[in-house]
Chains A and B, each alone.
Chain A
């Protein structure tokens, strides 16, 4: 069974508008971490934001915020005031604490295109 599900293969948003990228996850761990990475067309993986399962507040980093709904097992990324440079693939990922390897399990990604 998929551990990270991103149901939106592609999204369009107008410049300066906000956009929400969906992510749901599956784990029986109580302790886990959720990450969002951006992959522009150049190919590198850029860390955006992190949410721990015990964090009571939703994480924010500049224009990025993570809408964490633990009971629904969702960790949606919200990008406010979209810019043309936000056009990229976005990956949601999870790290489970009981896994000693601390590796990330990735979703299949959402391609975001920001239109002028």
Chain B
């Protein structure tokens, strides 16, 4: 099992550009999450999904969108990138009530 995979590992964007962060899990987990981690801080929830076709906002959803068409994939879309979105982005997945497994993260810089 590869677990949770994320691409790309690093990305530099210019202000106003858009991009999609990819996340795939092969553990058949219902729940998937996107978090962001700003320097020196803990993780904050952006969006989550409890199953294919079902998504909802977390604490910091502004400037992002998600979709969940399959159990395995949960891409995060950034529209009109801003410097405030410079962060490390983590995707995670879990069964209900169990620990979350995290991907390796995507380090995004917006200049």
A residues whose Cβ falls under 8 Å from a Cβ of B: 4, 33, 35, 37, 43-45, 47, 50, 91, 93, 100-109
Contacts and interface: CB of A to CB of B under 8 A. Distances in A.
Contacts, number: 57
B53 interface: no
Contact of B99 (A43, A47, A101): A47
Contacts of B99: 35, 47, 50
Interface of B: 31, 33, 40-45, 48, 50, 56, 58, 88, 90, 92, 94, 96-97, 99-102, 104-105, 107
Given A43-B88, A43-B105, A103-B48, A91 B31 contact: no
A106 B88 contact: no
Nearest to A45: B102
A91 B43 contact: yes
Give the interface SS of chain B, mostly helix, strand, loop or mixed: strand
A24 to B, nearest CB: 14
B48 A101 contact: yes
A43 B104 contact: yes
